[in-house]
Chain A
Amino acid sequence: MYDTSDIRKGLKVLMDGNPYNVIEFQFVKPGKGAAFTRTKFKNLLTGAVVERNIRSGEKLEPANVETKDMQFLYKEGDGLVFMDQTSYEQVTIAQDLIGDAHDLMKDNMPCTVVFFNERPVDITLPTFVFLEVTASEPGVAGNTAAGNVTKAATVETGATVQVPLFIKVGETIKIDTRSHEYVERVNK
């Protein structure tokens, strides 16, 4: 069991049968009252964030959560096939789990997969991926009214992102997997 002094970002605990990840915590102590740790937890299954004040002395149950470094091999229907980089075991994970980032996944990409009771519950991609532009209209005067001079471009994995007008087919661009947004052009 954990107590409040164990609370730190990334601690995985079980509450009401659900695995949670600590994302924020702060020591609080009302005058003449006990010390509490005001803690924000993210449900690893639903993504919902809850806040709880854990009183000093209260116990938290560890969640049976394991984080593994895995390599993305290839897509198979709606599934993503990964290989455990330690055991070389292969698992297929439904692509729904990573939401719309699945179209940024490139073969052999290293990822982090979180398992709860041996079931995959979360996949973290590298923050940035470098992908080649495979299709895009040549630069035309875009929507300048809002100050955003961009156009759509399709990259090698099939994702469509907004890029500046100067980006051409065949160039490599850096994309932030968290926001699905273009970051910069990469000279190769």
Chain B
Amino acid sequence: MRGRVLAVDDRTAIVRCADVDVRVPDAPAAWQPGDLVDGDAVVRAFGAPYPPPGSEVARLPRARVEAIRARAAALTKVRAFFAERGFLEVETPLVVPSPGLEIHLDAVPAGDGYLITSPEYAMKRLLAAGFDKIVQVCKCFRANEHGPHHAGEFTMIEWYRAYADIEAIAADTEQLVHTVCGDHARVGERRISVVPPWQRISVRDAMQRWAGITVRGDEPAAELVAEIRRAGIAVAGDLAWDDAFFTAWLARVEPEIAALDHAILVEDWPVPLAALAREKPGDPATALRFEAYIGGLELANAFDELVDADVQRARFEAEQVARAERGRPVYPIDDKLLAALAEGLPPSSGIALGFDRLAMLATGVATIGEVLTFTTAER
């Protein structure tokens, strides 16, 4: 049997002998890719088969294989967690006519509609239909999102509780992360405490403490820009309220949150960042929303859900206008969701949690691609 040299790296050669590829350490210096050599001798001397072509997973580095196993173990714990608490696992369509209208999310067109950016509209219709504790683990898709913490196709855990406020969701989140990660989440060599209860801070306090910026929530954008400049942060004058806010947030607040050695819930978001959240009773400039941050990863976003169909329609219409103004695709309003709200959605709270990021925190890897079986580039 003849063997053919496939590759030579330094002095290690890979030789294909019949149907196995064999790794030959300290190969003769003269060997070049393409050379024909004595395959029988190679198999006799170095017979441990190197992963054959086509078996892509087997070619993954060992650390990646371990991360994928840890991811699967985490998913098993997640499902058990919700089953123990009486949640019903549901599946809703991935292709929909009306993806989320959120201004900074772009959907991927698919067939006669779009791939979902999150399953929230359909899950709210299930709440209106009478299901009171529901969870879904599904793929979501977002155009133009690729980075160490972002994959265009990723896995979301989304759950809702009817007749419950956002505090019940906060407790679920703390316990779920603690169940999956143990007392400490891992970020590289760092150990981040996730033992409940987690520290809380309001958005306004965080901006005040770490950026020296006073945010009200009902001020005009130009006023916020002036306040941000007073704090010494370069920001363009013509920015929208949310863009100005996040410029300051990323420059000063987010790095401080990332450096904490414990998990934190950032709550009480100003109303321009409310999205689908209800206003706080007695405080119309604040929305009942929190974000969970662990070691620099933004893990989850929760709302006390907006249940008023008229207010929801007004927000959708404003978002359509804002999308058009910023030159982004304008998606149709989900009339079936509005009809469900009009018929009566019970007071409800819900959350979307990035499962890939939870897997990152369980394993300590630095990039989202390390907990995916195949990254976008590897598809």
Contact = CB atoms under 8 A, between A and B. Distances in A.
Contacts of A55: 243, 246-247
For chain B, the bracket of interface size reads 20 to 34
B279 interface: no
Contacts of B256: none
Contact of A28 (B147, B275, B301): B147
Contacts of A52: 234
A118 to B, nearest CB: 29
Interface in B249-269: 249-251, 254
A172 B251 CA distance: 49
A28 B104 contact: no
A26 interface: yes
Interface string B338-357: 00000000000000000000
Contacts of A35: 104, 144-145
Interface in A68-96: none
B251 A34 contact: no
Nearest to B148: A26
Contacts of A27: 145-150
A31 interface: yes
A38 B250 contact: yes
B273 interface: yes
Contacts of A26: 147-148
Contacts of A34: 104, 242-243, 246
Interface string A22-63: 000011111111111010000000000000110101100000
A32 B104 CA distance: 7
Contacts of B251: 53
Contacts of B147: 26-29
A25 to B, nearest CB: 9
Interface string A2-38: 0000000000000000000000001111111111101
Nearest to B250: A53
Interface of A: 26-36, 38, 52-53, 55, 57-58
Interface of B: 102, 104, 144-150, 234, 236, 242-243, 245-247, 249-251, 254, 273, 275, 291, 298, 301, 326
Given A31-B298, A33-B246, 14 more contacts: A26-B147, A27-B145, A27-B147, A29-B104, A30-B254, A30-B298, A32-B301, A33-B242, A33-B245, A34-B243, A35-B145, A38-B250, A53-B247, A55-B243
